[in-house]
Structure 1
Amino acid sequence: MTLRFRENGTFRVLQMADIQDGPDVNEDTIRLIREAIAVSDPDLVVLTGDQIRGYDPAYIDTFLRRRGDRPGAHVRAVTRFEAAVQGMQPSDDDAETAMDRTREKVRETFSAFLGPAVTADVPFAATYGNHDFQCGVLVDEQDDMYREFPGCLNPRSTPDTPTALAADHADPLVCEPGTFALPVESSDGGRIAMSVMMVNSGDYASEIGGEDGEPGSHVESPVELASQTADTVPYELYAVKSRDFDLADTAGYGTPSPEAIRWLGDVQRHLGERNGDGLPVPAIAFQHIPPQEFYQCLREVPAWTPYAVEGTRTFSGKCYLLDESKCRPGSLLGESIGCADVNCGEVEAMRKAGGYFALFAGHDHKNAFVGRVDGFDLGYAPTCGFTSYGPKSALRGIRLFTFHEADPSTYDTRMLTYGELIGRRSGNEVRVFIGDHLMTDGASVRNELRKPKVAATVALGGAALAHVVWHGLIRRR
């Protein structure tokens, strides 16, 4: 399928981030996707990771906390609690049967959220986040599943040829599952006017050093792992500091593989050769986990500043607000930036390669800002799902891009929110409220208390409690 600018010189892309749901995809999520497609009439939909809620109770038998885990061996307390509430229990089925059941549930999830795009005949492409693989179906197999649906542009990352011939037939536009280029031709079809780059940003860093299950590395299948007597990555090595309710674990997030970083430059040289001028083409990259450079869109502020958020891990101990001098109007910072502990050099590789003008991510469900740092745009789409945590219903949404053939780097972008398209309230405001005010550690508690309304509510509640206690003591006396 060829992507091409329209006759009026525009090309529209919808970015859907963090659908993050199980087999029964929330109806509000589907409504939002359907309405966004109907309103925007996109030429392409990009899914930027965590489409699958890998820790959902539906996958309790095959859950992988890490790629080297044994399926279902180390289910988190939060998943066990949710399963108990829903009346679900781990089954006694063998590993292969459990995996087959999980595969069908993943297909059900795909069918639900892809339905609006398939019905509207809009092509789509998907990359992966840190929760997709946790269902037990690794991303290379998920790639095959996506290609079962009409309109999927995810290419095969390995040729269907013998290994000896693979190097001669490898597609330079493809690096690995979730990392590939989608060239967009000019309106007359005479050249490649721009390219959409999908990048697999990895999932989790390993407690024992290096990236755990980097894209492109060999990882045994969950069924093979189930037959082993010990984990490939020993559980005890990373469980020492583990917190049951911390889905990110303690090792931090991953980064794109070294192969992907090199590919970012190689693919630009290839596209330049295809155009015949050797010049890099204008390109925008989409991925799940943001790189450390996203912090450059913020400014450090005192800890008592209203609405400030604390940095995490490498950036902990500091508080931030958006830098208005760098960010577009309408930008929102709702939580800290959850990047890797190391800078893998991805943004620098893009600058060196030339042509790249923007990088957009998901991952941090409450963030929806677009900042410009040294001539390069860094931006977010918030969650468009209603099962996981995120902002209030009205602010959950899908990001629309309109690129112009004459200069794709001067693109327009805005959020298509649930509040704009459907209404202020979703079908389950209690769940949304909990997700909007979710506190999992000291930093998130302090972030909530920096919100004036929350602080006032806590103060009033504390005063009322003190009043009751005081009068109770007086009565006793």
Structure 2
Amino acid sequence: MTTGESRLTGEAELKFRDNGTFTIVQFTDVHNGGGTPEDLRSFAMLEAILREERPDLVVYTGDQIRSRGPDPLAQFRQITSIAEKAGIPYAFTFGNHDSRRNVTRQELMDMESRRPLCLAQSGPEHVSGVGNYLLLVSASRSPEVAAVLYFIDSDRNAPESEVHDGRSEWIDRDKTDWYVRESDTLKRKFGRALPALLFCHIPMPEYEEVWNTQPCCGYKFDAVRCPGRNAGLFAAMVEKGDVIGTFAGHDHSNDYCGVLNGIRLCYGRVSGFNGKVQEGFQRGARIIRLREGERRFDTWIRLEDGSLVTRQPVHKPERQQGSLCGKA
């Protein structure tokens, strides 16, 4: 696949609806262990959320499976088949647990790439990791491209000497360079910076910065286990001016969003029952709705009990009391 192209064929084509919306459900950190009672509860919740939301795309942002389990390929397939059975195209990024034991990222990608509704791609061979790719979303009433979705493999690349307090894997510089090339190519091809979203598993260091320096909507019960190294991906996105929002997982009890230098940094909502969370923190999913022709998106959370979270408390770095943030 050449630079700037996207696999937009057949029933998996991505397109804004006639009403000018494109909706994504983000599932993250499902941690499927291979059929435990917790897994069955996770499966039921994912299925229910897809029935309620009927999105245009499902994105799994890593740690689809646990590092332990009898058959990692089958465990991974159980998770992605939930979107497939619902008839919804899906894409994914890998997490630090997905290829920890008895399976490689490439083996998982090779398995999934044969599925008709899977849009995930291995990505360029010269870029580190597996799963660095982009997808294009066409306009509602024309074949013109209206939005871009970037996927970055936050990898599992840290030697033990670099692991401190859970701060380990980082996004290598070659991935930042890949993003810059793709962004420049798209801008030349379409004559403007198209509105874009970026998905990865491990949050960038700026997720910690935005919480410490800007008002944020939502909860932070876990430390931000971002990498100790910064390869400049966020700075590149600010420079290129296309990405309007990023979405990560990894830190199970965080779900906040905040704006830094014009980019909205968001956590998903933990979707699996095998991982630890803050007491009382319900599992769920983040919903993202792009609007055609606009450089903004709405986002909200749907929880296991079926309820919607459209407004969340405001955290201010100076510890002042805030009101509530809406979903817009």
Q: TM-score, normalised by structure 2?
A: 0.83
Q: Percent identity?
A: 28
Give the CA deviation at 1:154. Answer: 1.3
- Map Cα deviations across residues 16-65 of structure 1 (whole Å, 9 max, x no partner): 110112221611101111111111110001111111201x2x35xxxxxx
- Structure 2 gap ranges (5+): 1-8, 309-328
- Give the Cα–Cα distance (whole angstroms) in 2 for the partners of residues 149 and 190 of structure 1: 24
Indicate the residue corresponding to 1:51 in structure 2.
64
The answer to whether 1:416 aligns with 2:305 is no
- Give the Cα–Cα distance (whole angstroms) in 2 for the partners of residues 344 and 412 of structure 1: 29
Give the CA deviation at 1:252. Answer: 3.4
- Give the Cα–Cα distance (whole angstroms) in 1 for the partners of residues 138 and 122 of structure 2: 21
Indicate the residue corresponding to 1:284 in structure 2.
197
1:168-183 correspondence runs (5 A): 177-183=130-136
**Which residue among 83, 86, 102 is the counterpart of 1:117?**
83
**Which residue among 79, 94, 97 is the counterpart of 1:128?**
94
Residues 411/158 of structure 1: CA separation in 2 closer, same or farther (3 Å cut): closer
Indicate the residue corresponding to 1:320 in structure 2.
none
Check the 8 A contact 1:194/1:281 in 2, yes or no. yes
Q: Which has the larger radius of gyration?
A: 1
Check the 8 A contact 1:21/1:388 in 2, yes or no. no
Aligned to 1:135, the other structure's residue is in SS state coil
Residues 402/263 of structure 1: CA separation in 2 closer, same or farther (3 Å cut): same
- Give the Cα–Cα distance (whole angstroms) in 1 for the partners of residues 157 and 145 of structure 2: 35
* Larger fraction in helix: 1
Check the 8 A contact 2:208/2:226 in 1, yes or no. no
Amino acid at match of 2:176: I
Give the CA deviation at 1:149. Answer: 2.9
Check the 8 A contact 1:394/1:418 in 2, yes or no. no
- Give the Cα–Cα distance (whole angstroms) in 1 for the partners of residues 178 and 256 of structure 2: 27
Check the 8 A contact 1:366/1:391 in 2, yes or no. yes
- Give the Cα–Cα distance (whole angstroms) in 2 for the partners of residues 205 and 344 of structure 1: 14
**Which residue among 248, 263, 268 is the counterpart of 2:183?**
268
Q: Number of aligned pairs?
A: 295
Q: TM-score, normalised by structure 1?
A: 0.58
- Give the Cα–Cα distance (whole angstroms) in 2 for the partners of residues 249 and 22 of structure 1: 26
Check the 8 A contact 2:128/2:172 in 1, yes or no. no
Check the 8 A contact 1:52/1:135 in 2, yes or no. no
- Give the Cα–Cα distance (whole angstroms) in 2 for the partners of residues 250 and 390 of structure 1: 17
The answer to whether 1:17 aligns with 2:28 is yes
Give the CA deviation at 1:389. Answer: 1.0
Indicate the residue corresponding to 2:215 in structure 1.
326
- Give the Cα–Cα distance (whole angstroms) in 2 for the partners of residues 41 and 419 of structure 1: 17
Residues 12/175 of structure 1: CA separation in 2 closer, same or farther (3 Å cut): farther
Check the 8 A contact 1:36/1:421 in 2, yes or no. no
- Give the Cα–Cα distance (whole angstroms) in 1 for the partners of residues 292 and 227 of structure 2: 34
Indicate the residue corresponding to 2:250 in structure 1.
363
Check the 8 A contact 1:204/1:252 in 2, yes or no. no
* Larger fraction in strand: 2
Residues 250/366 of structure 1: CA separation in 2 closer, same or farther (3 Å cut): closer
- Map Cα deviations across residues 216-270 of structure 1 (whole Å, 9 max, x no partner): xxxxxxxxxxxxxxxxxxxxxxxxxxxxxxxx77683111122211011111122
**Which residue among 140, 151, 162 is the counterpart of 1:187?**
140
- Structure 1 gap ranges (5+): 60-104, 160-166, 168-173, 210-247, 300-322, 423-477
Give the CA deviation at 1:392. Answer: 4.4
The answer to whether 1:144 aligns with 2:86 is no
Greater RCO, 1 or 2 (C-alpha within 8 Å, sep 6+): 2
Check the 8 A contact 2:47/2:82 in 1, yes or no. yes
Say what the alpha-carbon RMSD is for the aligned residues: 2.3
- Give the Cα–Cα distance (whole angstroms) in 1 for the partners of residues 166 and 226 of structure 2: 12
| Deviation larger for 7-16 or 134-143 | 134-143
Residues 47/420 of structure 1: CA separation in 2 closer, same or farther (3 Å cut): same
- Give the Cα–Cα distance (whole angstroms) in 2 for the partners of residues 385 and 142 of structure 1: 19
Residues 250/205 of structure 1: CA separation in 2 closer, same or farther (3 Å cut): farther
Amino acid at match of 1:259: D
Aligned to 2:99, the other structure's residue is in SS state helix
Amino acid at match of 2:173: P
Residues 338/19 of structure 1: CA separation in 2 closer, same or farther (3 Å cut): same
- Give the Cα–Cα distance (whole angstroms) in 2 for the partners of residues 134 and 24 of structure 1: 19
- Give the Cα–Cα distance (whole angstroms) in 1 for the partners of residues 130 and 139 of structure 2: 27
Amino acid at match of 1:252: R
Give the CA deviation at 1:112. Answer: 2.1
The answer to whether 1:7 aligns with 2:22 is no
Indicate the residue corresponding to 1:257 in structure 2.
172
- Give the Cα–Cα distance (whole angstroms) in 2 for the partners of residues 401 and 391 of structure 1: 24
- Give the Cα–Cα distance (whole angstroms) in 2 for the partners of residues 295 and 110 of structure 1: 30
- Give the Cα–Cα distance (whole angstroms) in 2 for the partners of residues 251 and 373 of structure 1: 24
Check the 8 A contact 1:383/1:397 in 2, yes or no. yes
Give the CA deviation at 1:176. Answer: 5.4
Check the 8 A contact 1:326/1:373 in 2, yes or no. no
Residues 393/140 of structure 1: CA separation in 2 closer, same or farther (3 Å cut): farther
